[in-house]
Amino acid sequence: MAKKNKDDYSIADALRVPSGPVRVEDFDPDSAPDYPGEGKADAPAQMADLAPELSDLQERLYAAGRDNPRSRRLLLLLQGLDTSGKGGVIRHAVGMVDPQGIDLTAFKVPTAEERSHHYLWRIRRALPGPGMIGIFDRSHYEDVLVVRVDELAPLDEIPKRFDEINRFEAELADQGVTLIKCFLNVSRDEQKDRLLERLENPEKHWKYNPGDVDVRKKWSAYMDAYSDVLTHCNTEHAPWFVIPADKKWYRNWAVARLMVEHLRAMDLQWPEADFDVDTEIARVQTS
Amino acid sequence: MAKKNKDDYSIADALRVPSGPVRVEDFDPDSAPDYPGEGKADAPAQMADLAPELSDLQERLYAAGRDNPRSRRLLLLLQGLDTSGKGGVIRHAVGMVDPQGIDLTAFKVPTAEERSHHYLWRIRRALPGPGMIGIFDRSHYEDVLVVRVDELAPLDEIPKRFDEINRFEAELADQGVTLIKCFLNVSRDEQKDRLLERLENPEKHWKYNPGDVDVRKKWSAYMDAYSDVLTHCNTEHAPWFVIPADKKWYRNWAVARLMVEHLRAMDLQWPEADFDVDTEIARVQTS
């Protein structure tokens, strides 16, 4: 395959969930849409190709945020079942970005304090500041996923929460937050292989939790819950992207590329000097 | 120069401040002690050489911290004048590490709330959790540096603070925090060049602040203040390292290498499984 020009395709178009009812099963976890290289072998080179532009764009975003509390920000939201690779994406794709521009939050089982508030309370507190790239490892979607599957709230709450989440995300868009919502779509077979890999390698035992198998047994309930999320919370201002996640190298590249495309679309300019440049040059030279 | 074996030297030994009275002027900002390569040209390769071990060690630290609130942690503390490269070190050396294992705090001019507390209050709140690598971009040392130079507190407070800081850092060491205190030592001439570079490149104007020249005019007061810090707060459990910072490539490499050496010394082991591995393999296989 000939190497594509970096500007003649949009991974966002390729991975965006179409509007209307969808099912997770409609998406192929093992595909690699719009990948510009050959495959796994050249994935490090493809990632390296994205790095300078991602770095430049992130620095422009950061610079713009320094003196402007109303400036743009990016929020990458990662959802997916165990072993789908939320951690891998953070390590390999987010890891390409200057740590000073990253604001990472991993949402765990809510604490007692968090449970005493509305479920969006802890989310609002973790929103990225001006110029920052926020990363959500899990998110408010847990409140319509695990909460629904394990019936941690009355089930008739779920459709209300979909509406509430859509309003919340519209509000974020209004405030200058560009949201990239990624569902990392791993297949049931691949999940099994990855769990076994963790068990067979003593250096990976710490990543394994017996509870992962209990969750795995609820696979079809999770597919139903994710299908409803992808159907009901897939809006114009905050669309979902389904990232094929059986190929780790594609998954990482696709998320990095999504960040590049969304940052490009912001048309970020370097801030202008709020001082007289020649005066300052003279001051430094005589100092 | 023949490439050194990675285990036959210690950058920590080479850069550690000797005990007793020292002056910043005793240290050469343009040197490159123990650098195993040729110079700037092979610096990317030297950084890449450190990356796999740094990554492995960080993951071991993180794994150990998952189930043990008393486990080890690392705290890299960066001090230095404007343009000495605190941001560059974070971008290039800290940026080599998985963002999930990094807890970065940039200490700015204290807020009203921070000023209403003891100066160590905001420092304690920002300490890294178990298994994490904390990064302090500036620190409690500002409270004996800018506070002294600009007389923001009575000057007889400063020696008291030295004692207090030494006790605080001894307490951290007792709690399992390995502290790496780095003074990024840039020369006065190199600072001038870097400030001019920021002024001459419109993409770097946002990094320039006219106040930087005002601080530059107090150069010798800062050298006195840093000399006293390196003399009085250079303890067995929390020594200072002076990082020659005129060569950016050396500065970044040296800090990355310091992290590797300190993590190596922790002798970090992968946590043992707290479940029966064979039972879990069977559960996954039939799930």
DSSP secondary structure string, B17-69?
PPSS---GGGS-TT--TT--SSSGGGHHHHHHHHHHHHHHHHHHHHHHHHS-T
User: Does pLDDT of A263 surpass 80?
Assistant: yes
Q: How far apart are CA B133 and CA B94, in angstroms?
A: 9
- The domain defined by B11-285 folds into Rossmann fold (3.40.50)
Using an 8 Å CB-CB cutoff, list chain A residues near B138.
none
Q: Helices (DSSP H) in A206-247: which residue ranges?
A: 211-216, 219-232
Distances (CA, A) of B116 to B111, B113, B163: 9, 5, 21
Please identify which residue in the block is written with the tokens 């009575």. Answer: B154
- Find which of B54, B100, B204, B277 to mutate to test the A interface (most A CBs within 10 Å of its CB): B100
pLDDT at B9: 86
- Tokens, residue B103: 């807890």
Answer with the residue of higher pLDDT: B164 or A3. B164
CA distance B197 to B205: 9
pLDDT in tens, A100-134: 999 999 999 999 999 999 999 999 999 999 999 99
Cα–Cα distance for residue pair B88/B167, rounded to 1 Å: 30
Q: What DSSP line would sit under A154-203, residue for residue?
A: -TTHHHHHHHHHHHHHHHHHHTTEEEEEEEEE--HHHHHHHHHHHHH-GG
How far from the centroid of its chain's Cα atoms is residue A204's Cα?
Answer: 24
What is the mean pLDDT of the segment spanning A132-137?
A: 98
| Stronger pLDDT, A3 or B100, i.e. the higher one | B100
Taking CB atoms and an 8 Å limit, are B99 and A99 in contact across chains? yes
Which residues lie closer than 8 Å to B177 by C-beta, 6 or more apart?
A: B72, B73, B74, B75, B127, B128, B134
Residue B91 is nearest to which of A98, A213, A216, comparing CB atoms?
A98
Residue A230 has a pLDDT of 98
In the numeric block, which tokens belong to residue A32?
């690699």
**Nearest CB neighbour to B104, from listed A100, A208, A280:** A100
Reduce the DSSP state of residue A103 to 3 states and report it.
Answer: strand
A195 touches chain B (CB under 8 A): yes
> Measured between CB atoms, does A286 come within 8 Å of chain B?
no
Q: Which of B77, B179, B175 is nearest to B135 (CA)?
A: B77
Closest CA to B232 of B221, B220, B224: B224
Which of B102, B200, B207 is opposite residue A99, by nearest beta carbon? B102
pLDDT tens digit string along A81-103? 999 999 999 999 999 999 999 99
Query: Is B281 within 8 Å of A106 when comparing Cβ atoms?
Result: no
Residue of chain B nearest A208, judged by CA positions = B273
Short-list B144, B165, B285, CA closest to B222: B144
Averaged pLDDT, groups of 10, chain B, 287 residues long: 62 97 98 94 95 97 90 96 98 97 97 97 97 98 97 97 98 96 98 98 96 97 98 97 98 98 96 96 96
What are the C-alpha distances in Å from A86 to residues A78, A184, B72, B164?
Answer: 6, 7, 25, 42
Check if B40 contacts A (Cβ < 8 Å): no
Q: Retrieve residue A170's tokens.
A: 């519209």
Residue A287, C-beta contacts closer than 8 angstroms, at least 6 positions apart: B192, B213, B216, B217
Q: Which residue of A has its CA nearest to B137?
A: A100
pLDDT for B133 equals 98
Across the interface, of A95, A199, A202, the residue whose CB is closest to B284 is A199
* Residue tagged 């603070």 (tokens): B161
Tell whether B94 is within 8 A of chain A (Cβ). Answer: yes
Count how many residues are written for chain A.
287
Is the Cβ–Cβ distance between A103 and A135 less than 8 Å? yes
The total of other beta-carbon atoms located within 10 Å of residue A278's CB is 9
A199 at B interface, C-beta within 8 A: yes
How many Å apart are CA B143 and CA A62, to the nearest integer?
A: 27
pLDDT of residue A110: 96
CB proximity A104 to B under 8 Å: yes
Q: Does A216 touch chain B (CB under 8 A)?
A: yes
Neighbouring residues of B227: CB distance < 8 A, sequence distance ≥ 6: B22, B23, B24, B25
Residue to test with chain A: of B199, B207, B272, B274, most A Cβ within 10 A:
B199
Contact B253, B14 (CB under 8 A): no
Q: How confident is the model at residue A43 (pLDDT cuts 50, 70, 90)?
A: very high
Q: Is the pLDDT of residue A1 over 50?
A: no
- pLDDT value, residue B1: 41
Sequence ranges of the domains in chain A: 11-285
Q: Average the pLDDT over A191-206 and give the result.
A: 97
B95–A95 CB contact, under 8 Å:
yes
C-alpha distances (whole Å) from A136 to each of A170, A262, B135 are 17, 16, 21
Q: What's the CA gap between B216 and B188, in Å, rounded?
A: 8
- Check: complex ipTM more than 0.85: yes
CA closest to A217 among chain B residues: B287
Q: From CA B216, how far away is CA B222, in angstroms rounded?
A: 9
- A193 — contact with chain B (CB < 8 Å)? no
Please, are residues B29 and B244 in contact by the beta-carbon 8 Å criterion?
yes
DSSP A275: S
β-pairing, B133-137 vs A102-106, is unpaired
Buried (b) or exposed (e) across B244-277, using 16+ Cβ within 10 A? bbbbbbbbbbbbbbbbbbbbeebebeebebeeee
B133 interaction partners in chain A (CB closer than 8 Å) = none
Q: How many CB pairs under 8 A join A and B?
A: 115
What is the C-alpha separation between B73 and A243, in angstroms, rounded? 34
All residues of chain A having their beta carbon less than 8 Å from the beta carbon of residue B67 are 206
B106 at A interface, C-beta within 8 A = yes
Residue of B nearest to A98 (CA): B91
Cα separation, B235 vs B225, in Å, equals 17
B71-81 burial by CB neighbour count: b if 16+ within 10 A, else e? Answer: bbbbbbbbbbb
Instruction: Note the pLDDT of residue A36.
Output: 93
Strand ranges of the sheet holding B177-185, from the earlier edge strand across to the other edge = B102-106, B133-137, B73-80, B177-185, B240-244
Output the CA torsion sign for A262, A263, A269, A275. positive
Residue B140 identity (one-letter amino acid): H
* A273 CB within 8 Å of a chain B CB: yes
Q: What is the pLDDT of residue A5?
A: 57
